[in-house]
């Protein structure tokens, strides 16, 4: 099936009433999650994961994708109106977004961000549509050695470039891998590290772990301060029309942001946050209005916001084409596929064409839904910011507990939620990165599987992992990135 | 205002905890079969992971030792610390009592006390708000979405 045929088939899948409703609901819930503090895209998608098991796999995945890019957009609302990033990808948006709000341009900027997110997401979908099948064809050549190189190497790169020091990435990654070894081992069904607790034989429940690390930890951080933020400025629909100059100045950042975001989405790491940072730096370097950036320029908002939505979309490529997630949200989507018995990987396009093309087509629909929802509903999103903290925090905790218990009807999962909430809070305090921990937890079983399969198939010859040119090239790239990231600070110090 | 602590010392404590964790993990993993190179057993991957956790913990210790003296980490102090600990205590109590109290009564009590902890809302108003949250959660998740939660003393 070629890209055009595949896309038409995907639209046939995604435009069913159930899937259309899932895309719309996902975009709506995602925006709400992004707007409210306490839950970011990762915890939001994790909480919806158990609900997705009740639907068929395509519907569940479509809803999860909708929540992801909805939350990316929602996070920008608090950044622009309150100078509070709803999630890490909106940090750069605060700088110029809040300055523009103080100049009375909040409505226009929110509209430009909605359009930019639509443009970035939609063009990125075209890239996904063309690139993912090509990568999947290439991925058919992969055996255990190549998959081990992509998954273990990708995890190493992610831990190194997630931000912070070497230890800040590698320590949580190792903890995530350690958690992944708890429970029944796949090949011989032997229980490991369960200490006689029957419920642990199913392993550490991903939903509980992720909601604890991101949700409970964030709530503990939020209550550190008694003060609530400033009230948001009211935004009326008639204030949302940007001026001709604002439109003109946004066109080039839309294009640049899309390109930057698409490329970053294909790489391991927190692609949405990294792409918005890179896009901001790019705008500061090349924009005609670079001197105004930092003091309230539309380029400083539209570029990064376009980029983070484009990255959210293109991050589906490694997941759909290789079955390897490079980010926390796509790791959760991988988990959803596996629960439904779908084997992610290069053959997904052939074995589950409805999933592959249905999810891609739903990205188009989701982007249209976001645009349609966000501009008319901006007043609602702003009014949600007025919900007092003492109301929405108990709601989030109650939902987190129900979500964690409901997956396996086990109190052990709820204990994991609380324990990892505390661990996440402490790790964040020390500037450790949480994404490598989540991805370590998800990729651990896959890495073990490829490692043991490779040794079985090669009759115990460990050289098999670096013998094939593809595996060797991947490991060389990993070594290059790791060496580059280690040497860069030394070079910067030498240059003074 | 929070209280600042030396980040280096915090890293040293974390690294030490990591070393202890990896030692316990590796000691437990020793009982798993390693198998042969061509028939790797269930203990191979945990052994690799245990060593990785140990190395990562040593990296944390190294960075903690090399950390500049002026690098600090801020933890809440005074009333702010009490609020964080209060929330944590409430969550732990909620989770511990959930099987006995059940979802509805447990959620109601948790929300009531948390609303009181985070705001100056009076008891009656807080009770109404908590009851609303518990009721909506019950109807949406337990009745509508059929999530099986502990029923507890109320049998709901």
The number of C-beta contacts closer than 8 angstroms across A and B is 176
How many residues does the structure list for chain A? Answer: 496
User: Which member of B15, B42, B62 has the closest CB to residue A185?
Assistant: B42
Q: How confident is the model at residue A326 (pLDDT cuts 50, 70, 90)?
A: confident
- Is the pLDDT assigned to residue A116 strictly greater than 70? yes
**Domain limit, last residue, from B46, B75, B104:** B75
Residues in chain A within 8 Å Cβ distance of B103: 402
Structural domain boundaries, residue B9: 2-75
* Among the ranges given (A36-40, A47-51, A276-280, A434-438), the one the predictor scored with the smallest mean pLDDT: A36-40
**Domain limit, last residue, from B28, B48, B75:** B75
**Domain limit, last residue, from B47, B75, B103:** B75
**In a shared domain, residues B57 and B99:** no
**In a shared domain, residues B35 and B93:** no
Residue with the larger pLDDT of the pair A319 and A49: A319
Query: Best mutation site among A223, A403, A454 for testing chain B: the one with the most B CBs within 10 Å?
Result: A223
**In a shared domain, residues B64 and B100:** no
Angle, helices A106-139/A244-265, rounded to nearest 10 degrees: 30
**In a shared domain, residues B22 and B56:** yes
DSSP secondary structure code for residue A231 in this structure: P
* ipTM value: 0.95
User: Which member of A173, A448, A461 has the closest CB to residue B45?
Assistant: A448
**In a shared domain, residues B61 and B91:** no
**In a shared domain, residues B108 and B150:** yes
Tell me how many domains chain B contains.
2
Give the Cα separation of A388 and A281 in Å (integer): 35
A27 C-beta neighbours (distance < 10 Å), count? 30
Residues in chain B within 8 Å Cβ distance of A417: 95
**In a shared domain, residues B111 and B93:** yes
Best-predicted range by mean pLDDT (A129-138, A171-180, A390-399, A461-470): A171-180
pLDDT (0 to 100) of residue A129: 84
- Nearest Cα neighbor of A180 from A478, A472, A437, A4 is A437
**pLDDT, tens digit only, all 156 positions of chain B:** 578 889 999 999 999 999 999 999 999 999 999 999 889 999 999 999 999 999 999 999 999 999 998 899 999 999 899 999 999 999 999 999 999 999 999 999 999 999 999 999 999 999 999 999 999 999 988 888 788 888 888 777
Residues in chain B within 8 Å Cβ distance of A181: 45-46, 49
User: Which member of A173, A220, A459 has the closest CB to residue B87?
Assistant: A220
Q: Which run of H or E residues covers position A129?
A: helix A106-139
Contact between residue A114 and residue A371 where contact means Cβ atoms under 8 Å apart = yes
Q: How confident is the model at residue A496 (pLDDT cuts 50, 70, 90)?
A: low
pLDDT (0 to 100) of residue A134: 85
Residue with the larger pLDDT of the pair A473 and A270: A473
**In a shared domain, residues B93 and B143:** yes
Give me the residue spans of the domains in chain A.
3-495
- Concatenated DSSP letters of A271-305: HHHHHHHHHHHHHHHH-TTGGGTTSS-THHHHHHH
Give A444-461 pLDDT, tens digit per residue.
Answer: 998 999 999 999 999 989
Query: Average pLDDT of A110-116?
Result: 89
pLDDT (0 to 100) of residue A385: 77
């Amino acid at each position: 099936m070629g890209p055009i045929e595949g896309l038409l088939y995907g639209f046939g899948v995604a435009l069913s009433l159930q899937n259309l409703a899932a895309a719309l609901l996902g975009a709506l819930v995602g925006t709400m999650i992004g707007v409210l503090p306490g839950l970011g895209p990762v915890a939001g998608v994790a909480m919806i994961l158990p609900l997705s098991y009740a639907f068929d796999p395509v519907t569940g995945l479509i809803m999860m994708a909708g929540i992801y890019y909805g939350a990316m957009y929602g996070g920008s609302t608090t950044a622009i109106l309150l100078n509070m990033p709803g999630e890490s990808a909106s940090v750069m948006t605060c700088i110029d977004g809040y300055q523009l709000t103080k100049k009375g341009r909040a409505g226009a900027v929110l509209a430009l961000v909605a359009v930019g997110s639509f443009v970035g997401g939609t063009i990125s979908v075209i890239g996904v549509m063309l690139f993912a099948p090509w990568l999947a064809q290439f991925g058919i050549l992969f055996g255990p050695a190549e998959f081990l190189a992509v998954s273990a190497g990708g995890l190493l790169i992610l831990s190194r470039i997630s931000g912070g020091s070497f230890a800040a990435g590698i320590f949580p990654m190792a903890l995530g891998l350690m958690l992944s070894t708890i429970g029944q081992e796949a090949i011989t069904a032997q229980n490991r590290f369960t200490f006689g607790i029957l419920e642990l034989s199913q392993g550490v429940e991903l939903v509980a772990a992720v909601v604890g690390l991101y949700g409970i930890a964030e709530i503990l951080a939020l209550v550190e301060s008694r003060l609530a933020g400033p009230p948001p400025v009211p935004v009326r629909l008639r204030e949302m029309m940007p001026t001709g100059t604002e439109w003109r100045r946004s066109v080039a950042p839309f294009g640049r942001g899309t390109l930057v975001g698409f490329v970053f989405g294909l790489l391991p790491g927190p692609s949405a946050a990294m792409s918005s940072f890179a896009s901001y730096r790019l705008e500061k370097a090349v924009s005609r209005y670079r001197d105004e950036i930092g003091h309230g320029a539309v380029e400083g908002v539209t570029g990064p916001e376009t980029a983070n939505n484009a990255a959210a979309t293109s991050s589906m490529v490694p997941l759909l084409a290789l079955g390897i997630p490079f980010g926390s949200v796509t790791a959760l989507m991988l988990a959803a596929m596996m629960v439904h018995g779908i084997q992610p990987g290069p053959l997904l396009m052939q074995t589950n064409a409805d999933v592959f093309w249905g999810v891609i087509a739903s990205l188009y629909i989701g982007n249209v839904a976001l645009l349609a929802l966000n501009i008319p509903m901006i007043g609602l999103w702003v009014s949600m910011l007025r919900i007092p903290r003492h109301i929405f925090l108990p709601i989030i905790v109650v939902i987190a507990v129900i979500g964690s218990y409901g997956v396996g009807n086990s109190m052990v999962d709820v204990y994991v939620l609380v324990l990892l909430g505390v661990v996440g809070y402490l790790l964040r305090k020390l500037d450790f990165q949480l994404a490598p921990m989540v991805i370590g937890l998800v990729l651990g079983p896959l890495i073990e599987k490829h490692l043991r399969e490779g040794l079985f198939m090669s009759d115990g010859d460990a050289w098999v992992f670096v013998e094939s040119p593809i595996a060797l090239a991947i490991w060389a790239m990993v070594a290059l990135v790791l060496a580059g990231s280690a040497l860069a600070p030394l070079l910067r110090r030498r240059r003074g | 205002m929070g209280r600042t602590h030396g980040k280096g010392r915090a890293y040293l404590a974390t690294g030490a905890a990591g070393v202890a964790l990896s030692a316990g993990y590796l000691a437990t993993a020793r009982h798993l079969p390693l198998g042969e190179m061509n028939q790797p057993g269930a203990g191979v991957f945990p052994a690799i992971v245990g060593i990785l956790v140990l190395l990562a913990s040593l990296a944390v210790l190294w960075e903690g030792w090399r950390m500049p003296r002026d690098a600090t980490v801020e933890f809440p102090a005074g009333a702010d610390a009490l609020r964080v600990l209060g929330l944590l205590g409430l969550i732990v109590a909620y989770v511990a009592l959930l099987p006995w109290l059940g979802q509805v009564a447990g959620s109601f009590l948790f929300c009531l006390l948390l609303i009181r902890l985070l705001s100056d809302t009076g008891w009656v108003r807080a009770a109404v708000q908590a009851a609303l949250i518990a009721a909506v959660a019950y109807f949406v998740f337990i009745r509508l979405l059929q999530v099986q939660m502990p029923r507890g003393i109320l049998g709901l």
